[in-house]
């Protein structure tokens, strides 16, 4: 079973700053099946990035995804107030999904 490890656990930044979130897989995975989600308090997750680098419908272009093999990155180019939330990476393989433990992006 593939384990996804996200780092850092918490990222403290100010609005306007750049956020770089990491997701590392315990073994090489198909980047086609790597997704990122945003979750705000008391809300359902929202799909941001699919296929490691494709923005989902309606997602602003300040969100970008990259990576391959075992290392993947979600970048938020300039943080807006509404971007402070928890972010999860997710991988699909063999008819099952695995989530990372999440990275919280908080206001510094």
Which residues bind to another protein, rule: CB under 8 A? 32-33, 35, 37, 39, 43-47, 50-51, 54, 56-57, 88, 90, 92, 95-102
Least Å from the CB of residue 5 to another protein: 12
Least Å from the CB of residue 7 to another protein: 14
Name the nearest CA neighbour of 6 among 100, 84, 106: 100
CB 88 within 8 A of CB 35: no
Give the CA radius of gyration of the chain.
13
Closer residue to another protein, CB minimum distance, 17 or 56: 56
Least Å from the CB of residue 91 to another protein: 9
Q: CA 52 to CA 66: how far, in whole Å?
A: 6
Closer residue to another protein, CB minimum distance, 22 or 99: 99
User: What does 40-66 look like in DSSP terms, one character per residue?
Assistant: -TTS--EEEEETTTEEPTT--TTEEEE
Closer residue to another protein, CB minimum distance, 14 or 57: 57
């Amino acid at each position: 079973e593939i384990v996804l490890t996200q780092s850092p656990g918490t990222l403290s930044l100010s609005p306007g700053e750049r956020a770089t979130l990491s997701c590392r897989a315990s073994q090489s995975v198909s980047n086609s099946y790597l997704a990122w989600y945003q979750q705000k308090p008391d809300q359902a997750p929202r799909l941001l990035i699919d296929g490691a680098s494709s923005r989902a419908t309606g997602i602003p272009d300040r969100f970008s995804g990259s990576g391959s093999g075992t290392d993947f990155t979600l970048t938020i180019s300039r943080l807006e107030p509404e971007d402070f939330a928890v972010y999860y990476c997710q991988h699909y393989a063999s008819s099952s999904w695995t989530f990372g433990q999440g990275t919280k992006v908080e206001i510094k």
